[in-house]
């Protein structure tokens, strides 16, 4: 035998049929709820298993269902509404990009349950350190659509005054840290923020977010190690959507069993969760946030999902994966699954759903039209170029004053 | 007034700020219990507890990344990178995160952070204990870059840096930690106790960032220097016998262009000196600024004396480190023009 390199490949390419036969989907309700002070050495079943609440018939089953037994029909309808609004915004903004009204957009189709479900379990003052695919956190934090869309259009409603690429939101008052284009960096910053929470004794927590591909970045390790050393109140989320642009998740995970399993080596307990199951998201989020807030230290959650849409408006997934792969995804669609559950509960119907979808789309469209009157890429109402220089530093140093004057402002 | 080395002055600055501001926090590799490999944080953990002064894993990106997260919440981390040569794993966090946070969030989040790092050569440190990476930071909008040349400035500038609302890269010339160094490597060393700048107030004082200091007044030529090279330039001026004006920049970003301009307009000549490699070094920026601001006053081409464009060597230390003789030759040459 001689040494040979391994090069992981996705189960199917564009000319092939989708193949998810390698994915094991355990029965809903099969994993227990561990104690809040769960330690890494006892977390292995949770890190390699899959926590699921909604079964194939849309029933909420098992012990994790019990921990969110207090969620009312209204709470769950709100969750559905969050996801539908997210989907409507995605659809409208994708169109707006195609029409040249904004330069760039990223959808989160198929991943709506994760951010929407997590955010509704946070308290005011907690801080997310999101990636560019957690707009869901803003939607479920009731962030004004005017500000969200203003940022996407870089118009005068943009809280960031045109400085950032569309989708790189920042909303401190809504628990949403400034997004950076540099992957992974925010993961260790979340740990630092959580350390500050503990040092100040303010009772708040931080939540780090990262995708499966970006777990390969140095700062994933930096964050896990730091969290493991200092035990701050942080929830470290990995959104495993199977794809990093064109790169199959196997290239990032290597021979590790799961992303969650990685945390165990750092001494951080971890859970792997059905990311398309809104109830599982709500239950595990509540558990992890409570654990952090009560001082039991960090926890990592791998949200298992599928990136149903293109990576971005600059990407064409048909070049590297089967066109209908999303439809074959064994964990289904988060909106459809919560809808089925609500119908089974007698709290929803096909008619109400269709009506809600139409209403939400109409609301989003109305806001969008209003926001567009403040300027778009095809109909710009420019922000003052002097904005370039404001905020580089707290005060304007002489060299920037000279450059601003050179520009004519 | 007390007598302090640069090490003691830096420690005193952190001591003062830890005492008067509960949001100040100090951490880095070997910084806590042990007090730092250069003793700059000795005694601080014992005085303030490990929630204020603590050891970190050997991970520069984590040190700065954690600090960015803390600073964004309003704390004032003063972190240490053990050697400037090892800052590169943190370059992403410094240049893409700390430097931009205020701007990209339109002021929602800010980064009042100090990153201290021993810099410079002259200590047989070889490739990875001698570098001067300041130009990699002066090129980054949103950072401030500071480098003291003596204990008095070191304390006043570090206090100002910790109090600054924006991220500051604080470079400490380790060749100057225990005493001034003028390039004479024969073995004779002068302690700071024998130098006027070794007189350092015990309590709080700050030296504003962005202000240069005149080290020697002169009429013939302006020498722009910082860090160890301030002292080497003083020796070179004595050796060359020219009436040079030596400006210690202290802050590279923002730069005190007014002081530089006033001096060069008076002397008509300028020599720039730094330890860092020449090509695209900070000297290039200084020469460009002087040329733009003082063109009609210049009587000779601008000269820069810098480290050679090669990795910092070990055995050839004194052929690499800009020597008083090399600077003196440049001073005589610029006077001949």
CATH of the domain at B324: 3.40.50.920
**Which pLDDT does position B187 carry in this prediction?**
85
Residues of A in contact with B61 (CB under 8 A): 188, 218-219, 222
Residues 5-44, chain B, touching A (beta carbon < 8 A) = 25
**Which pLDDT does position A74 carry in this prediction?**
98
Q: Using omega within 30 degrees of 0 as the cis cutoff, is the peptide bond preceding B254 cis?
A: yes
Residues of B in contact with A219 (CB under 8 A): 61-62, 65, 92-93
Contact A226 B75 (CB under 8 A): no
Rg (CA), chain A: 22
Residue where one domain finishes, among candidates B176, B200, B224: B200
Residues of A in contact with B94 (CB under 8 A): none
Is A170 an interface residue toward B (CB < 8 Å)?
Answer: yes
Q: Are residues B192 and B46 in the same domain?
A: yes
pLDDT value at B143 more than 90 = yes
Report, as an integer, the average pLDDT of A370-392.
Answer: 95
The answer to whether A273 touches A284, Cβ cutoff 8 Å, is yes
Q: Are residues B143 and B26 in the same domain?
A: yes
**Which pLDDT does position A252 carry in this prediction?**
97
Contact B68 A129 (CB under 8 A): no
The answer to whether A263 touches A234, Cβ cutoff 8 Å, is no
CB atoms near residue A262 (< 10 Å): 22
Q: Are residues B236 and B148 in the same domain?
A: no
Is B288 an interface residue toward A (CB < 8 Å)?
Answer: no
Contact B102 A394 (CB under 8 A): yes
Count Cβ–Cβ pairs < 8 Å, chain A vs chain B: 140
pLDDT value at B18 more than 90 = yes
pLDDT digits over A75-104, tens only? 999 999 999 999 999 999 999 999 999 999
pLDDT digits over A255-313, tens only? 999 999 999 999 999 999 999 999 999 999 999 999 999 999 999 999 999 999 999 99
Query: What's the mean per-residue pLDDT of chain B?
Result: 98
- Distance (Å, rounded) from C-alpha A244 to C-alpha A307? 9
Residues 126-145, chain A, touching B (beta carbon < 8 A) = 127, 129
Share of chain A above pLDDT 90, in %: 100
- Distance (Å, rounded) from C-alpha A7 to C-alpha B25? 45
The answer to whether A135 touches A167, Cβ cutoff 8 Å, is yes
Q: Are residues B23 and B74 in the same domain?
A: yes
Contact A170 B102 (CB under 8 A): no
Tally the C-alpha atoms within 13 A of residue A332's C-alpha that lie toward its C-beta: 16
* Cα–Cα distance list, B19 to B2, B23, B25, B48, B204 (Å): 19, 10, 10, 8, 10
pLDDT digits over B28-82, tens only? 999 999 999 999 999 999 999 999 999 999 999 999 999 999 999 999 999 999 9
How far off is chain B from A226, nearest CA to CA, in Å?
A: 7
**Selected catalytic residue, list B129, B185, B274, B297:** B129
Nearest CA in chain B to A170: B105
* Cα–Cα distance list, A223 to A232, A279, A288, A292 (Å): 11, 28, 17, 15
pLDDT value at A18 more than 90 = yes
Report yes or no on B81 lying in a domain.
yes
Out of A171, A180, A194, closest to residue B96 by CB: A180
Contact B106 A163 (CB under 8 A): yes
Q: Are residues B112 and B177 in the same domain?
A: yes
| CATH code for position B191 | 3.40.50.970
Nearest CA in chain A to B22: A200
Residues 90-109, chain B, touching A (beta carbon < 8 A) = 92-93, 96-97, 100-109
Q: Are residues B131 and B246 in the same domain?
A: no
Report yes or no on B207 lying in a domain.
no
Asked casually if ipTM beats, i.e. exceeds, 0.95, the reply is yes
Pull the structure tokens for residue A352.
């109400």
The answer to whether A262 touches A255, Cβ cutoff 8 Å, is no
Report yes or no on B186 lying in a domain.
yes
pLDDT digits over A182-212, tens only? 999 999 999 999 999 999 999 999 999 999 9
pLDDT digits over A219-252, tens only? 999 999 999 999 999 999 999 999 999 999 999 9
Report yes or no on B327 lying in a domain.
yes
**Which pLDDT does position B95 carry in this prediction?**
98
Residues of A in contact with B69 (CB under 8 A): 129, 188-196, 206
Residues of A in contact with B78 (CB under 8 A): none
Nearest CA in chain B to A190: B69
Residue where one domain finishes, among candidates B147, B173, B200: B200
- Distance (Å, rounded) from C-alpha A59 to C-alpha A61? 6
Nearest CA in chain B to A174: B108
pLDDT value at B1 more than 90 = no
Q: Are residues B108 and B218 in the same domain?
A: no
Question: Angle at Cα B179 formed by Cα B173 and Cα B184, nearest 5°?
Answer: 90
How far off is chain A from B314, nearest CA to CA, in Å?
A: 31
Residue where one domain finishes, among candidates B200, B231, B265: B200
Helix (H, G, I), strand (E, B) or coil at A333: coil
pLDDT digits over B67-120, tens only? 999 999 999 999 999 999 999 999 999 999 999 999 999 999 999 999 999 999
Residues of B in contact with A129 (CB under 8 A): 69
Residues 6+ away with beta carbon under 8 Å from A368: A92, A96, A145, A149
Contact B69 A129 (CB under 8 A): yes
pLDDT value at B337 more than 90 = no
Q: Are residues B292 and B234 in the same domain?
A: yes
Report yes or no on B181 lying in a domain.
yes
Give the domain extent around B274.
213-336
CB atoms near residue B318 (< 10 Å): 13
Report the number of distinct structural domains present in chain B: 2
Q: Are residues B230 and B172 in the same domain?
A: no
Q: Are residues B179 and B282 in the same domain?
A: no
Pull the structure tokens for residue A302.
């791998």
Residues 109-128, chain A, touching B (beta carbon < 8 A) = 127
**Which pLDDT does position A406 carry in this prediction?**
96
Out of A160, A180, A229, closest to residue B97 by CB: A180
The label of the residue with tokens 């800010």 reads B110
Contact A170 B72 (CB under 8 A): no
Report yes or no on B205 lying in a domain.
no
Contact A177 B109 (CB under 8 A): yes
Does the active-site annotation cover B129? yes
Report yes or no on B317 lying in a domain.
yes
Q: Are residues B39 and B186 in the same domain?
A: yes
Higher pLDDT, B189 or A173: A173
Residues of B in contact with A185 (CB under 8 A): 65, 92-93, 96-97
Report yes or no on B206 lying in a domain.
no
Out of A192, A391, A398, closest to residue B102 by CB: A391
How far off is chain B from A230, nearest CA to CA, in Å?
A: 9
Nearest CA in chain B to A232: B66
Out of B67, B93, B105, closest to residue A178 by CB: B105
pLDDT value at A1 more than 90 = no
Q: Are residues B92 and B240 in the same domain?
A: no
Is A159 an interface residue toward B (CB < 8 Å)?
Answer: yes
Go through the domains of chain A in sequence order and give each one's CATH number. 40-378 (3.40.50.970), 383-409 (no CATH)
Nearest CA in chain A to B76: A196
pLDDT value at A361 more than 90 = yes
* Cα–Cα distance list, B145 to A140, A159, B71, B166, B209 (Å): 41, 29, 18, 11, 9
């Amino acid at each position: 035998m001689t040494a040979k390199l391994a090069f992981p490949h996705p189960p199917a390419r564009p000319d092939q049929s989708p193949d998810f036969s390698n994915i094991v989907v355990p029965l809903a309700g099969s994993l227990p709820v561990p104690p809040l002070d769960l330690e890494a050495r006892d977390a292995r079943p949770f890190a390699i298993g899959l926590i699921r609440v909604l079964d194939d018939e849309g029933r909420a089953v098992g012990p994790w269902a019990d921990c969110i037994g207090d969620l009312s029909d209204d709470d769950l309808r709100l969750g559905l509404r969050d996801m539908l609004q997210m989907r409507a915004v995605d659809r409208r903004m994708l169109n707006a990009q195609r029409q040249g009204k904004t330069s760039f957009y990223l959808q989160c189709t198929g991943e709506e349950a994760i951010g929407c479900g997590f955010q509704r379990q946070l308290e005011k003052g907690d801080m997310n350190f999101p990636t560019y695919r957690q707009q869901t956190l803003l939607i479920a934090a009731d962030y004004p659509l005017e500000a969200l869309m203003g940022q996407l259009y870089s118009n005068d409603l943009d809280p960031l005054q045109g400085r950032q690429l569309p989708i790189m939101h920042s909303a401190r008052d809504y628990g949403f840290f400034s997004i950076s284009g540099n992957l992974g960096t925010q993961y260790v910053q979340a740990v630092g923020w959580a350390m500050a929470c503990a040092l100040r004794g303010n009772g708040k927590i931080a939540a780090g977010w990262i995708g499966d591909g970006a777990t390969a970045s140095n700062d994933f390790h930096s964050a896990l190690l730091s969290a493991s050393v200092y035990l701050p109140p942080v929830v470290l989320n990995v959104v495993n959507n199977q794809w990093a642009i064109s790169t199959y998740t196997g290239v990032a995970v290597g021979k590790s069993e799961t992303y969650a399993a990685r945390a165990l080596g750092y001494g951080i307990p971890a859970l792997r969760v059905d990311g398309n199951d809104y109830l599982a998201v709500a239950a595990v989020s509540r558990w992890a946030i409570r654990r952090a807030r009560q001082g039991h230290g960090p926890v990592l959650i791998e949200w298992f999902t599928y990136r149903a849409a293109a990576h971005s408006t600059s990407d064409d997934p048909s070049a590297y994966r089967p066109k209908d792969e999303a439809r074959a995804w064994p964990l289904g669609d988060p909106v459809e699954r919560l809808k089925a559950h609500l119908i089974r509960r007698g709290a929803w119907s096909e008619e109400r759903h269709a009506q809600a979808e139409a209403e939400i789309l109409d609301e989003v469209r109305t806001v969008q039209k209003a926001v567009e009157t403040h300027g778009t890429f095809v109909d710009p109402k420019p922000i003052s170029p002097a904005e370039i220089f404001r905020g580089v530093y707290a005060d304007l140093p002489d060299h920037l004053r000279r450059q601003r004057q050179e520009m004519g402002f | 007034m007390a007598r302090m080395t640069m090490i003691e002055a830096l420690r005193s600055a952190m001591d003062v700020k830890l005492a008067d501001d509960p949001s100040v926090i100090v951490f880095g590799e070997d910084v806590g219990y042990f007090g730092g490999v250069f003793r700059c944080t000795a005694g601080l953990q014992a005085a303030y507890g490990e929630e204020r002064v603590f050891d970190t894993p050997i991970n520069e990106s984590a040190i700065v990344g954690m600090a960015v997260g803390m600073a964004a919440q309003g704390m004032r981390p003063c972190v240490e990178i053990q050697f400037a040569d090892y800052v590169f794993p943190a370059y992403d966090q410094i240049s893409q995160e700390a430097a931009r946070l205020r701007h990209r969030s339109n002021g929602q989040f800010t980064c009042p952070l100090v990153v201290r790092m021993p810099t410079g050569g002259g200590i047989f440190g070889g490739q990875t204990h001698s570098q001067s990476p300041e130009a990699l930071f002066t090129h980054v909008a949103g950072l401030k870059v500071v480098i003291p040349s003596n204990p008095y400035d070191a304390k006043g500038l570090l206090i100002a840096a910790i109090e600054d609302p924006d991220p500051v890269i604080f470079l400490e010339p380790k060749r100057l930690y225990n005493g001034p160094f003028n390039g004479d490597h024969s073995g004779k060393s002068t302690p700071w106790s024998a130098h006027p700048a070794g007189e350092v107030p015990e309590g709080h004082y700050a030296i504003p960032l962005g202000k240069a200091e005149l080290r020697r007044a002169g009429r013939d030529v302006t020498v722009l220097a910082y860090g160890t090279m301030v002292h080497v330039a003083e020796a070179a001026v004595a050796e060359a016998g020219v009436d040079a004006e030596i400006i210690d920049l202290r802050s590279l970003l923002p730069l005190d262009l007014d002081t530089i301009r006033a001096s060069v307009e008076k002397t008509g000549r300028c020599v720039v000196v730094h330890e860092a490699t020449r090509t695209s070094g900070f000297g290039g920026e200084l020469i460009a600024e002087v040329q733009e601001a003082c063109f009609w006053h210049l009587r000779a081409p601008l000269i820069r004396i810098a480290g050679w464009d090669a990795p910092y060597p070990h055995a050839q230390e004194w052929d690499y480190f800009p020597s008083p003789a090399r600077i003196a030759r440049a001073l005589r040459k610029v006077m001949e023009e």
